[in-house]
Amino acid sequence: MDLDELYREVILDHNQNPRRRGRLADPSASQGLFNPTCGDRITVDLQVRDEKVTDAAFDGHGCSISTASASMLMDSIVGRPVAEARQTARGFIDFITGKSEEPPPGDWNSLAGVRRFASRVKCATLAHNALLQALSEVEAGRTHPNDAS
């Protein structure tokens, strides 16, 4: 199996078997975003305690890139400090938009091909942008969910 095929497998797996899909019962913050270009909708729910992401989930609908990226993100931030979660999201956004050549640690390189398709970059970064907004809510002490559905 070549590297491109392996990366496709990672994306397909996260799309067909998304991790942490659903809604949290009582999130510390919830942020929903909509991509009008393609119709993708993602809502990110976070539970944060003591500056640590204790639980995270996403819901909504979107293409395989959007779903896989959201699944990978949620899976990668649970149990991590808020600063690391933010760094992962910003690092991926910088990587996928070409501002950085290095992806954050994890399977993020599997989405590197998206960089060649500007119209798909928004799909890949939708959950990351929602996460950053939700983290800002937590830091500002706002806990009123904003749902994109």
Domain count, the chain: 1
Tell me whether residue 148 is in a domain.
no
- The single residue listed with the structure tokens 């496709």 is 8
Task: Provide the pLDDT for residue 94.
Answer: 96
Asked if the structure places residue 77 within a domain, the reply is yes
Predicted local confidence at residue 144, as pLDDT: 46
The verdict on residue 99 lying in a domain is yes
Residue environment code for 116-126, b if the CB has 16+ CB neighbours within 10 A, otherwise e: eeeebbbbbbb
Give me the CATH number covering residue 119: 3.90.1010.10
| Whole-prediction pTM | 0.88
Is residue 78 domain-resident? yes
147 is a domain residue: no
Determine the structural domain holding residue 24 and report its residue range. 3-140
- Determine the Cα–Cα distance for residues 44 and 1; give it in Å rounded to an integer: 34
Could you report the per-residue pLDDT of 28-49, keeping only the tens digit for each? Answer: 999 999 998 888 999 999 999 9
User: Is 80 exceeded by the pLDDT of residue 2?
Assistant: no
Q: What is the mean pLDDT of the chain?
A: 88
Query: Is residue 126, in this structure, part of any structural domain at all?
Result: yes
Residue 10 is assigned to a structural domain of this protein: yes
Tell me the pLDDT tens digit for each residue of 80-117. 999 999 999 999 999 999 999 888 888 888 888 888 88
CA distance linking residue 42 with residue 149, whole number of Å = 8
Q: Report if residue 40 sits inside a domain.
A: yes
